[in-house]
Amino acid sequence: MSPVTDTVRNGVDTDKMYATLDLIKAQPELAKFQFRATNRWIDGAHNRSTIKGFYGAGAEDSTRSEEFQLDAGEPEILLGGNTGPNPVEYLLHALAACLTIAIVYVAAARKVELTSVESTLTGELDARGAFGLDDGPRNGFERIGVSFRVTGDAPEEKLREVVERARERSAVYDMVTNGVPVAVEVTTD
Amino acid sequence: MSPVTDTVRNGVDTDKMYATLDLIKAQPELAKFQFRATNRWIDGAHNRSTIKGFYGAGAEDSTRSEEFQLDAGEPEILLGGNTGPNPVEYLLHALAACLTIAIVYVAAARKVELTSVESTLTGELDARGAFGLDDGPRNGFERIGVSFRVTGDAPEEKLREVVERARERSAVYDMVTNGVPVAVEVTTD
């Protein structure tokens, strides 16, 4: 057995996980992060975000050698050209990704070997809100449904506890369910 | 002049926009949409969402010939392998994309020709929340800052009104600032 197989569970290095937690306990200021995205309009609904740098663990990150580019758009029925997922679909993806990572990390910490984590997310909205046609419907989703299928080497009860703990600790679940203050600034020159 | 140049502003077909609005006014049930994402865990923090189908305008969409795939991950400091933007970065992108599309559509409706829309979004969080080390900090961003630069053939005051109206009608801005009910279901077999 190599040392790697001793400490890696679900693809997560648990020795590194515990070391990180100990470091943050000792130096809480290392837990401060700033994440960023820059976006540029291309044409019509088509726009693109660039994501690379972030601040965390007391320094600007230097591990990302290339930037991530994300194209967004709208389908034809919403006046776009299908140049990418639309913004509300990206929000569903953000939520799915965050809950999934939390499930994988919590399972690793609790010595559960996962074999699969799959999810389907749905969001319903009435476009009269965002189109400004009716003040009744809100702009965004009225509700989001998340359906997880999680399998691994633990009894159902323990797998359900892992998902519940992940939900309690997910950053995007927190933001999507509780909301976040957003400040918008504008320059025009 | 071709007919196209008469009706297309900022890449948005305004004739089609007004026709869509008239149709929804006449048949409000056409405004009901359901958007979806399916996600699958790959390894460690790496997971992938697939986005294609949605319901809207009274039918299942048939205009998307290919699915969109989105890879998420975490940077090394957060125990991942930089396999994609992380979930909170995707949330910033969703917000940037939605506000940008709203700005472009509102400007088109108000006869403003835009020359550029650029934005930088930042979000701060204290990872002690998501790591479960301290119940003080929340899991997600404490706040999000959005800085727009918008230029076009209108006075500053009108450009600012466009951004303000876009903020009032953005689906993702609504969800991120006000929150959405999320129901999580789990199966384990």
- Residue type (1 letter), A142: E
Please report the pLDDT score of residue A16 as a whole number.
Answer: 95
pLDDT band at A6 (very low <50, low <70, confident <90, very high): confident
Which positions ≥6 away from A180 have C-beta within 8 Å? Answer: B123, B140, B141, B142, B143, B144, B176, B177
Whole-number average pLDDT of chain A = 96
pLDDT band at B6 (very low <50, low <70, confident <90, very high): confident
pLDDT band at A5 (very low <50, low <70, confident <90, very high): low
Contact (Cβ atoms closer than 8 angstroms) between residue A52 and residue A70 = no
- The mean pLDDT value for A134-146 works out to 96
Distance from CA of B58 to the nearest CA of A (A): 11
Question: What ipTM does the predicted assembly reach?
Answer: 0.97
CB < 8 Å to A44, chain B: 10-12, 104
- The mean pLDDT value for A33-39 works out to 98
Separation of alpha carbons A150 and A103, rounded Å: 9
- The mean pLDDT value for A65-78 works out to 97
CB < 8 Å to B170, chain A: 87, 130, 139
CB < 8 Å to A88, chain B: 35, 94, 98, 171-172, 175
Please report the pLDDT score of residue B5 as a whole number.
Answer: 55
- In the predicted structure, residue A174 carries a pLDDT above the cut 50: yes
- The mean pLDDT value for A63-67 works out to 95
Separation of alpha carbons A69 and A76, rounded Å: 22
Kindly state the DSSP code that residue A89 receives in the 8-state scheme: H
Which positions ≥6 away from B92 have C-beta within 8 Å? Answer: A35, A36, A37, A49, A51, B121, B122, B123, B144
- In the predicted structure, residue B2 carries a pLDDT above the cut 50: no
Question: What is the model's pTM?
Answer: 0.97
Identify the burial level of B3 via C-beta atoms within 10 angstroms of its C-beta, where 0-12 means exposed, 13-18 middle and 19 or more buried: exposed
Separation of alpha carbons A147 and A163, rounded Å: 11
Residue A62 sits at the chain B interface (C-beta within 8 Å)? no
